[in-house]
């Protein structure tokens, strides 16, 4: 019997929460909140895209420096081996 009353209480709380959310979302304030959330999400998405672009540029520069370092090291090894033969 105790399990049934907990279930019914949970059902009532859930229904009340759902009704409150429905009323909020259908009100002018609710619509304003949704628009604010959309704006914030779009702004966050744009900032994330910008950060990803900057990261890509920085990684490309690091990769290019790594290639140059490897080429220079290879040249030094070739010169060293040529001098010691």
Between 69 and 24, the more confident residue is 69
Label residue 30 exposed, middle or buried (CB < 10 Å: 0-12, 13-18, 19+).
middle
Given a cut of 90, is residue 9 above it in pLDDT? no
Is 64:70 a contact under the CB 8 Å cutoff? no
Enumerate the domain spans of the chain.
2-83
25-79: per-residue pLDDT in tens?
Answer: 888 888 888 899 899 999 999 999 999 999 999 999 999 999 999 999 999 989 8
* pLDDT at residue 1 tops 60: no
pLDDT at 71: 93
Say whether pLDDT at 3 is over 90. Answer: no
Q: How confident is the model at residue 80 (pLDDT cuts 50, 70, 90)?
A: confident
* 27/25 Cα distance (integer angstroms): 6
Q: What is the pTM of this model?
A: 0.53
């Amino acid at each position: 019997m105790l399990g049934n009353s907990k279930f019914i209480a949970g059902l009532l709380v859930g229904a009340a929460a759902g009704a409150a959310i429905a009323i909020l979302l259908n009100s002018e304030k609710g619509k304003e909140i949704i628009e604010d959330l959309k704006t914030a999400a779009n702004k966050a998405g744009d900032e994330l895209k910008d950060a990803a672009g900057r990261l890509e540029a920085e990684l490309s520069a690091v990769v290019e420096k790594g290639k140059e370092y490897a080429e220079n090291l290879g040249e030094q090894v070739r010169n060293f081996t040529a001098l010691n033969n």
